[in-house]
Each structure stands twice: as structure tokens, then as C-alpha cells.
Amino acid sequence: MRPNASRIGSHLQATDLRGIGRLAVDATLGLTDLVENLHHNILRAPSPLGTPSDQPTTGLTGFVYRSIRGVTRLVGSSVDGLLGQIGGLLGPAQGTPSTEREAVLSALNGVLGDHLAASGNPLAIHMHLRHDRQPIAIDRAVLAERIAQPSGRVLVLLHGLCMNPLQWKCYGEHDHGAVLAAEGGFTPLYLQYNSGLHIVENGRQFGEQMQALHDAWPVPIEEIVLLCHSMGGLVARSACDQAARRGDAWIARLTKIAFLGTPHLGARLERGGHWIDVLLGASPYTAAFARLGRLRSAGITDLRHGSVRRHDRPDVRAKQVPLPAGVACYALAGALSDEPGGLRDKLFGDGLVTVDSALGRHRLKSHRLDFPPGHQWVGQGIDHLALLGREEVMHQLRQWLLPR
């Protein structure tokens, strides 16, 4: 059955085909590099545990690979120019975002977002805040026009890896932010960011957005509350760390942060991926395939240890950056099992983040986060995404974040 062309067109914007075309060219060039490297190492006939070579092939073989790259770049440049001319036939760049397009774009940025940004690909997401599903410019006049009766209490929601603001409603029509706004008098804002960038970079950008929002908000800001899911919690912690060292004004208005399934101590799946890369790179005959693993984004590799600050050895766990001073911080963890404290909780947690990582628990004090006992909660039988929609989670957020 052929796909409906009008339905596909409704999910595309004018720049999407150009971005897809450029990504296809990049993928072809990357695959050519991988095959050439594998070819070169096999021709050398080294021992199975010899030292891999990253040198290109030479002679006629090298000429063939260089020709493939040249033709690919030429064709890519021609296709890019053609798509630029016909891009106007697609939908406009502005308007209500398509849920399907947003989901695909967010997942792509989570996996390859740093490459998309570095190569200037139109598919790269640029950080912005949203209200009522729409991006908003941080300008006093625009905010006053777009937001009816802005409150002095601002709630900002940060999504996780490969996700977007629309997915705070991934469980039917329930939205933690909308409920808290209605019951607590908040104005809810939703952050959209490229989750493939380094967490520190997203933290820097988020801090700048918050400072601009603080300066441009139509009424005096009394309180800022952050609600963070997964990676969003690391971005928030990095932003607070950088803002405190800069002396930003917005950080003085921040009163509470709630973390939903945030991998404060890192994610085991990423650490497993790192060791697979190491094993593949140990032999000249498999080293080329290790490049495939290393294609994952900087944001994903930062999840290895939950890095929120730059340091010289990103492959080694650094001392933990403390929770922001003077801010009430709350940690919610999910657990697949129905029985608390079991081996399954310790090994698998909510399926992506262990309970210890979500609660910042570590045997070494230097790697631990000091959430007070009353600021921790574990939801049994709740997986990572279910943290966004379960009523038990909403009940706990009410207890912690709404005015008494």
C-alpha cells in the first residue's frame, strides 16, 4: 500500500528534505571510510590482536575510495541545490508541530545531534522554550502578548534523551506540567533542546535562556520550579552549576527541582556500549566496526557517568557536582519490580536507570548526592516512560511542589 503523499507532506517542513539529503551523503561518506579502513587492515594481514591502523589505502585501491567520496560529494551538492529550489512546495516552517515529525526529529537529534549541529544540518534542533505547544521568543512584549495572565510563579519542564516537549503527554492527555500549573498557579514552559549535544553545552544554553527569561518576564518572578525527566535533570544541574559560578540572577529565584528517573550516577547501558567499543577496537579485523558504536552522540556518551561539568577525563567518573545550594531537590525513581529493595531494582531499576543512580546513592561520599530521606521516592512497578504519566508520581509531585 502506497503512503498517502498529502499525509507525508503534512509532517515535512521546507528544510527537512535538504537535511535528510545531507545526512544521507554523510552516511555514505562514513560507510566508505569504514569499508576502506577494514580493507586496509585486512590487506596488512596483522595478527588478530595486533595494532589497528587508521591510515587510508594507497595506489589503485586508494584511488577508488577517493573517487567514491568525490562522486558522493558532487551528487550531494547537486541534490542539495535542487531540494533548495523545490523546498517551497512543502509545508511552512512555522505552525503547530506535527507530533510524528517531532518524535522522529527528537530521536534523530538524540543519536546524532552533535553531528547535525556541527555540520549545519537543518534537522538540528535549536534550544527554545514553548508555551501551549508553540515556540515563544524571549521578549517582554512577545511574552506579554502570547501568555495570558503570566504568573510570578514559573514552572519549566525539561524532557529526556531523544524526546521533546509534546511527549510530556505520551500517556493520553495527562501532563504533569498542566496539572501543577492549574493547581499551583504556575505558568508552565517547556524546554526543547538537542539532546545529542554535550550536557554541559545544553546546560550553558539553558542557563542563558533562563537569565533572558528572568529579565524579560512581564511580571516580577517570585519563584522558579524545574521538573526534569531523565537527561533533563542533568541539563538542569549543569545549568545551575554554571549559573551559580557566573552569578546569574535567575538562580536566586529557583526554589525547587524535581528529578524523574534522572541518571545522576550514569546509565549502565551507555557504559556497556563503551566496553563493546573497547572490545571491538582491540583487533585490527574488528576495529572498523568500533567506529559504528562511536557514532552515538556526545549527549549519550555523557550518560556513561552522568557528567554535568567538563573535566579532563570524560571516560572516568569525576567527583559529584553537589546539588544547587538553597534549592529543595527531590528525586523520584522507577522500579520494574513490585517488591522494593530486590536485586532486580539494583540491576535494572526502571529499565533504563537504576534506583541508586536516580536517587544519587553511591558507597563513596564523593560520588553521592545528598537528597534528604523525605525528598526520595521509589515507584514500584513503574518503568522509565511511565514516570511521565502515572498517578502515583503525580501525587508525589503534588506533595513536594505545590504550596502547602
Q: What is the DSSP string of 84-145?
A: HHHGGGSB-SSSSPPHHHHHHHHHHHHHHHHHHHHTT-TT----EEEETTEEE---HHHHHH
Radius of gyration of the chain (CA): 23
Supply the pLDDT for residue 228. 98
CA-based nearest residue to 79, from 122, 118, 25: 25
Q: Which pLDDT belongs to residue 282?
A: 46
**Cβ contacts of residue 185 below 8 Å, gap of 6+?**
151, 153, 403
Q: What is the pTM of this model?
A: 0.79
Helix (H, G, I), strand (E, B) or coil at 19: helix
Please give, one letter per residue, the 3-state secondary structure of 54-84: CCCCCHHHHHHHHHHHHHHHHHHHHHHHHHH
Q: Which residue bears the cell 545526512?
A: 23
Query: What is the average pLDDT score of the chain?
Result: 79
Q: What is the number of other CB atoms lying within 10 angstroms of the CB of residue 327?
A: 16
> Would you give the distance in Å from CA 24 to the centre of its chain?
22
Q: How far apart are the first and last CA of the chain?
A: 57
Reported as a single tens digit per residue, the pLDDT across 348-373 is 788 889 999 999 998 888 888 999 99
Q: How far apart are CA 25 and CA 116, in angstroms?
A: 12
3-state DSSP assignment of residue 266 = coil
Residues of the chain with pLDDT under 50: 1-3, 5-9, 39, 47, 49, 65, 83, 90-94, 270-290, 292, 312
What pLDDT, on the 0 to 100 scale, is given for residue 1? 41
Beta bridge partners of 328: 256
196, 197, 199, 202: CA torsion to nearest 10:
-120
pLDDT for position 37: 57
> How much of the chain exceeds pLDDT 90, in percent?
48
Q: What is the DSSP string of 340-380?
A: TTSHHHHHHTTSSS-HHHHHT--SSGGG-----GGGEEEEE
